[in-house]
A and B are shown apart, each in its own frame.
Chain A
C-alpha cells in the first residue's frame, strides 16, 4: 500500500488512516470474540449437561483427543495422507485441466463437439462416481486421488476455456498483424493474459479436491481424515469425527491461503 511511503500527510488524511486502522482492529476483534464465545458456550453447555457431550463432544474433549493422537503419532498419518492425496489430485487437475482447455481453445470443432459432455459431467454430483471408482480402481489411494480430481477437473476445463475465449479478439488480431501464428497467440496473449484467472480457478479447486478426497476416503480408505470421520461415526467416537472436521477446516484454510499467497506473489511480479 502507498500509505507506507514516507510523505508528509495532512491532518485529515492522518485522521482518516487512523479511523481505517481502528475499523480493521475492531473487525478482527469481533471475529475472534465470536469464535471465543462459541467455544465457551459449547464447553459450558456440555459441562452443565445442557447437551450430551457424548454426541456433541466439546472443545476440551476435542483437545484431549487431539493431544492423545498427537502423542501416538496417528494424527500425522491421517492428516498427512489426506493432504498428500489432495495435493496430488490438485496437481493433476492443474496440468490436465489447463492442457485440456488449451486443446479445446485450439480447435473450435472439438470444443463444440465436446461441450454437452463437459456440461453434463460438470453438473453431475461427483460423489455418485466414488463407489464406482472404488470398484474399478480398488480401495486404494489411486481411486481417492481420482475422486479428488473428478470433483474439480470439469469445472476447471470449462472455466479456463471460457476465460481463454473471452480474451479481447483485437489482442489476438495484433499478434496476427505482427506476423504471428496460433502458437504465438497462445504463448504471448492467451496464457499470460489469463494467469489471474488461472490462479483464482486454482484457489477454488484446491478446496474442491479436498472435498473429492474426503468423499473417496469415506468409501474406500483405511487411513485419512475422511476415514476417521466415517469410522468414528460408526463406532460412536464422535470426538474423532468432530476433531477431524475441525482439522479439515484448518487444512482448508491453509491450502486456500497458500494458493492465495502464491497468487499475490505472482501478480506482484507482473
Chain B
C-alpha cells in the first residue's frame, strides 16, 4: 500500500524584490497511515512552509508531493490544517464556528451535523455550542478549532504549533486532550513545533530540520518501553530525556565533523 504522504526531493524558495530566500532544499520523507510525525527545527527554518506545501496551499518549485501515491489537487480535501491560533470567529457561535468548513464545502447535512454534535459531546463542548468563542477558555477554544478541522473528516492532520499560543499549564493539558482525540479518531498527523519536549511526548517519529534553507538532518524513531502513554505520562519516562538529548544534539552539532550525514 502506498504511504499516505510522500515527498520526493521537494524544494521551495520565496521570491521578493530584494532577492530569493531558499526555505527548503531536497526534502524527502514518507508518512504512513496512523503515524504521528513531528517536525522540529530552528525557528524560521521553513517548517510552516513545509506544511503549506503538503496541504497544497502553495506548490513546490522542485520535486513532487504524492498523497496516497497520487499527485494531489490543491487545496487537498483530505488534509486538515490546524493553525497556530484557533482563529475562532467572534461573530459566530461555537457551533457555527466548528461547522465553518462544512458550510464552505456545502457539506452541512444531517449526517455531518450528527458527527459534529457527537464530537462536541465527546470533547465536552456541547453545553457551549451556542456560546460565543470569547466565553471559552484557551483549552476549549483549541478543542473547538480541532473539531472544526475534524468535521471535514480529513485523513491527514497538519498541526502548525497548535499549542504555542497557550500558557504552559494549559498547554500540557490541551496537548493530552488533542493527542487523545487524534488517537481516538485514528488520524494521521504531522506536528510542527519548536518545542522539543512536545515533539518527544507526542510523536512516533521526529524529523529534525537544519537552519534555512532547511534539509532533513536526522530522522529519529521514538518508542517507549511502556506503550499507549499520554504525552504527559511520556514526560516522566526514563527514555524521555534520552530522546530529548538526541534531538538537541542533532539540532546543535558541536562541530562540522560531528554533523550527521
Chain A residues packing against B (C-beta within 8 Å): 168, 170-171, 173-180, 184, 188-189, 192-193, 195, 270
Contact partner, B91, options A173, A178, A179, A270, Cβ 8 Å: A270
B152 CB, nearest partner CB in chain A, Å: 7
Q: Which residues of A contact B85 (CB under 8 A)?
A: 170
Q: How far is the CA of A184 from the CA of B55 in the complex (A)?
A: 18
Q: Which residues of A contact B101 (CB under 8 A)?
A: 178-179
Q: How far is the CA of A179 from the CA of B154 in the complex (A)?
A: 12
Known: A179-B152, A188-B100. A170 touches B75 (CB 8 A): no
Q: Which residues of A contact B87 (CB under 8 A)?
A: 168, 170-171, 174
B194 CB, nearest partner CB in chain A, Å: 18
Residues in B78-123 with C-beta less than 8 Å from chain A: 80-81, 83-85, 87, 89-92, 100-101, 103-105
Task: State whether B91 touches A177 (Cβ < 8 A).
Answer: no
Q: Which residues of B contact A174 (CB under 8 A)?
A: 83, 87
Q: Which residues of B contact A179 (CB under 8 A)?
A: 75, 77, 101, 104-105, 152
Q: Which residues of A contact B92 (CB under 8 A)?
A: 192
Contact partner, B83, options A170, A189, A195, Cβ 8 Å: A170
- State the majority secondary structure of interface residues on B: loop
Question: Within 8 Å of chain A (Cβ to Cβ): is B180?
Answer: no
Task: State whether A184 touches B104 (Cβ < 8 A).
Answer: yes
Question: Which chain B residue shows the least CB distance to A196?
Answer: B91
Question: Within 8 Å of chain A (Cβ to Cβ): is B57?
Answer: yes
A264 CB, nearest partner CB in chain B, Å: 16
A126 CB, nearest partner CB in chain B, Å: 34
Q: Which residues of A contact B104 (CB under 8 A)?
A: 175, 178-180, 184, 188
Task: State whether B91 touches A195 (Cβ < 8 A).
Answer: yes
Give the top 5 A-B pairs by smallest Cβ distance, nearest first: A177-B81, A178-B101, A180-B104, A192-B91, A174-B87
Q: How far is the CA of A179 from the CA of B73 in the complex (A)?
A: 11
Known: A176-B57, A179-B104. A270 touches B77 (CB 8 A): no
Pairs A–B under 8 Å by Cβ, sample size 8: A170-B85, A173-B57, A175-B104, A177-B57, A178-B101, A178-B148, A178-B152, A188-B103
Contact partner, A177, options B55, B89, B90, B132, Cβ 8 Å: B55
Q: How far is the CA of A189 from the CA of B89 in the complex (A)?
A: 8
Q: How far is the CA of A176 from the CA of B57 in the complex (A)?
A: 7
Task: State whether B55 touches A192 (Cβ < 8 A).
Answer: no
Q: How far is the CA of A175 from the CA of B101 in the complex (A)?
A: 8
Q: Which residues of B contact A192 (CB under 8 A)?
A: 89, 91-92
Q: How far is the CA of A193 from the CA of B57 in the complex (A)?
A: 23
Question: Which chain B residue shows the least CB distance to A192?
Answer: B91
Residues in B144-197 with C-beta less than 8 Å from chain A: 148, 152
Interface hub of A170, A178, A189, A195 (most chain B Cβ within 10 A):
A178
Task: State whether A193 touches B91 (Cβ < 8 A).
Answer: yes
Task: State whether B90 touches A270 (Cβ < 8 A).
Answer: yes
Task: State whether A177 touches B75 (Cβ < 8 A).
Answer: yes
Interface hub of A168, A171, A177, A270 (most chain B Cβ within 10 A):
A177
Question: Which chain B residue shows the least CB distance to A174?
Answer: B87
Task: State whether B77 touches A173 (Cβ < 8 A).
Answer: no
Known: A173-B57, A188-B100, A192-B89. A178 touches B105 (CB 8 A): yes
With A170-B85, A178-B100 known, 15 other A-B pairs at CB within 8 A are A168-B87, A170-B83, A170-B87, A171-B87, A173-B57, A174-B83, A177-B75, A178-B101, A178-B104, A189-B89, A192-B89, A192-B91, A195-B91, A270-B90, A270-B132
Q: Which residues of B contact A178 (CB under 8 A)?
A: 100-101, 104-105, 148, 152
Question: Which chain B residue shows the least CB distance to A168?
Answer: B87
Q: Which residues of A contact B152 (CB under 8 A)?
A: 178-179
Q: Which residues of B contact A270 (CB under 8 A)?
A: 90-91, 132
Q: Which residues of A contact B148 (CB under 8 A)?
A: 178
Question: Which chain B residue shows the least CB distance to A189?
Answer: B89
